[in-house]
Amino acid sequence: MKNILIIEDDNYINDMLSKLLQLNHYHTWSAYSGTEGILLHNNHIDLILLDLMLPGKNGEDIIKELQHKKKVPIIVISAIYDTDKKIDLLKLGADDYITKPFHNGELLARIEVQLRHSVPHNDQENILIFKDIELNTTDYTVKCNHEYINLSKKEFEILKVMIENPNRVFTKNNLIEQVWDNEDSADDNTLNVHISKIRNKLKEKNPNEKYIETVWSIGYKLKK
């Protein structure tokens, strides 16, 4: 099932679009401002419906930030009929433009065309996901609950190894061998300190979730 992010500040229109798309077997995410839409945009989103008349950020800035975060088809929905404006937005990165009021069938057809023509972005292959953690092995960034967190190199490697093997119970020796490559300076206490720091940084972003579970007398595993 494809995921569509709706960025529309009008509650009625946002709700109407959600119901229309869900009836046609899409999963929807709703945002009511550009800032919220940028925060919600993640590796799961396949297409974005973007209203231009939003509070705060203007449409051009929103498109730039959305595409910088992850490039997916963007269909602009707006009451603005200005041809030059449409051309500017298309040059900027929007993939299509439909004016209000629109026919539901036309909107669905345009969505289908964009999804059919869209090619998965190569960066997706380099993003590891567990719960609301997104770990990018290309640029070594980590997000939790849609916010970036700052991990040291060793902390990043520990989390990477664990997310790559989400069902595995790791002994402390397993993790030390894979992350420190048998460096003499690494021991159980060193690992415990790094695990504690990872837990604390994740907890800052999402205090309601637990990610790493201690398996007493053995080691650690990801908490399902």
pLDDT digits (tens, 9 = 90+) for 142-185: 999 888 899 999 999 999 999 988 888 999 998 998 898 766 67
Distance CA 142, CA 127 (A): 9
- When pLDDT is cut at 50, 70 and 90, the band that residue 129 belongs to is confident
Q: What is the pLDDT of residues 32-75, one digit of tens each?
A: 998 999 989 987 889 999 998 887 777 778 888 888 788 889 99
Where are the domains positioned within the chain?
Answer: 3-119, 126-222
Is 50 exceeded by the pLDDT of residue 122?
no
Across 15-24, 74-83, 118-127, 191-200, least confident range? 118-127
What is the rounded average pLDDT of the residues 106-127?
Answer: 76
Distance CA 12, CA 21 (A): 14
Distance CA 87, CA 84 (A): 5
Q: Is 117 left (phi over 0), alpha (psi -120 to 50) or beta?
A: alpha
User: At the topology level of CATH, where does 126-222 sit?
Assistant: Arc Repressor Mutant, subunit A (1.10.10)
Q: Are strands 47-51 and 3-7 parallel, antiparallel or unpaired?
A: parallel
Distance CA 85, CA 81 (A): 8
Q: What is the pTM of this model?
A: 0.54
Distance CA 144, CA 59 (A): 26
Distance CA 129, CA 132 (A): 7
Task: Please report, for residues 10, 181, 209, the alpha-carbon distance to residue 78 in angstroms, rounded to integers and kept in the order given.
Answer: 12, 55, 38
The percentage of residues in the chain with a pLDDT greater than 90, rounded to a whole number, is 46
User: At the topology level of CATH, where does 3-119 sit?
Assistant: Rossmann fold (3.40.50)
Is 80 exceeded by the pLDDT of residue 121?
no
Distance CA 160, CA 171 (A): 16
Picking from 194, 190, 193, 211, the residue whose alpha carbon sits closest to that of residue 202 is: 211
What is the rounded average pLDDT of the residues 113-141?
Answer: 77
Picking from 40, 56, 53, 36, the residue whose alpha carbon sits closest to that of residue 99 is: 53
Length of the chain: 224
Residue pair 125/118 in contact by the 8 Å Cβ criterion: no
